[in-house]
Amino acid sequence: MTVLQEAIRKRAAELLEAGEVVRVIAWGSGRFANQTSPLFVSAAADAEKIVFNDYCVNTLAKYALNEKVDGKIAVCVRGCDARAINRMIADNQMTRDEVYLLGVPCSGMKDRATDEVLPKCLTCTHRNPVVYDELLGEAVAEPAEEEVSGLRYSGIEAVEAMDREQRLEYFNEVFNSCIRCYACREVCPVCTCRECFVDQLRAGWQGKQNNLNENRFYNLIRVFHIGDRCIECGECARVCPMGLPLMELNRKWIKDLDELFAAGEEGLTDELDNTLGRYKTDDIEEFM
């Protein structure tokens, strides 16, 4: 870890010094012990503020979108960050030459409060970045498929196994708890609309009340909007102040698309190929 941290600091300083990039997005220490937050470095001298430890929980890619600078931005990318970058390039939110990607292998991050590996990291299928300009440190071993595949869908399968009334009760509880702070939307690398459907008053998709109906609408439509593009970084669930199992909703969609249309994982390339944006004439028929 410290070796990697040094490597990131060194390269960040060099890139800034040489003027190859105007900003580096990495992690810095937060106010509390073992807390980190995204760090935006503009001067080579500040590169030493970069940290890389077991608690770098933020997926950084989306921060690159909000940096309005003239010049290249370097971003530290692990598997999740890299897939998010690919996703944003596929969605025309940035071009590949706007970013310089410092690949950082990652074996999973820990929750500061519990000191346990984050749920989103337990189901990670790409510990090494899938795209980068240079890879810092040695690539780590990817998890065995059986190790992850069980965990990826275990939560969903448990819910699917419930009877309908139980599921209704379970999700009503979830949706009732939602406070619609939209943190899940803000952090999501797939949520790149200029104006979210919830704010579009004219069409009137989303009512403003906080009640079960409106919360269900928000959460289900959020999944409909991102479902076939989700790169499974798990940030939505991580940032949810109410601790709602948002990835359980996303993953259900992902699992279904995979079962129905062999969708596969998203964000592995920067080509646009949404599962719901194509079809086969012999697609499965479930309606009749």
Of 55 and 175, nearer to another protein (C-beta) is 175
Q: Sort strands 23-29 and 36-41 into parallel, antiparallel or unpaired.
A: antiparallel
Q: Output the six-digit token pair for 127.
A: 């510990």
Of 4 and 221, nearer to another protein (C-beta) is 221
**CA distances (Å), origin 161, targets 119, 130, 156, 260:** 21, 34, 8, 19
CB of 225 to another protein, least distance (A): 4
Stretch that binds another protein, among 24-32, 47-55, 140-148, 191-199 (CB under 8 A): 191-199
Residues 242 and 186: their CA atoms lie apart, in Å, by: 15
Listed residue (38, 104, 105, 101) closest to 72, CA to CA: 101
CB of 287 to another protein, least distance (A): 4
CB of 87 to another protein, least distance (A): 10
Helices 164-177 and 212-226: crossing angle in degrees, nearest 10, is 100
Long-range residue pairs from 169-173, CB within 8 A, at least 24 positions apart, any chain: 171/216, 172/212, 172/216
Stretch that binds another protein, among 44-52, 75-83, 123-131, 279-287 (CB under 8 A): 279-287
Residue indicated by tokens 């500061």: 112
Of 113 and 204, nearer to another protein (C-beta) is 204
Verify binding: residue 86, another protein, rule CB under 8 A. Answer: no
CA 190 and chain centroid, separation: 8
CB of 75 to another protein, least distance (A): 20
CB of 66 to another protein, least distance (A): 10
- Are 189 and 88 spatial neighbours (Cβ–Cβ below 8 Å)? yes
CB of 157 to another protein, least distance (A): 11
- Interface ranges with another protein (CB under 8 A): 68, 70, 91-93, 156, 159-160, 164-165, 167-172, 192-195, 197, 200, 202-205, 207, 209, 211-214, 216-217, 220-221, 223-225, 227-228, 249, 252-253, 256-257, 260-261, 272, 274-281, 283-288
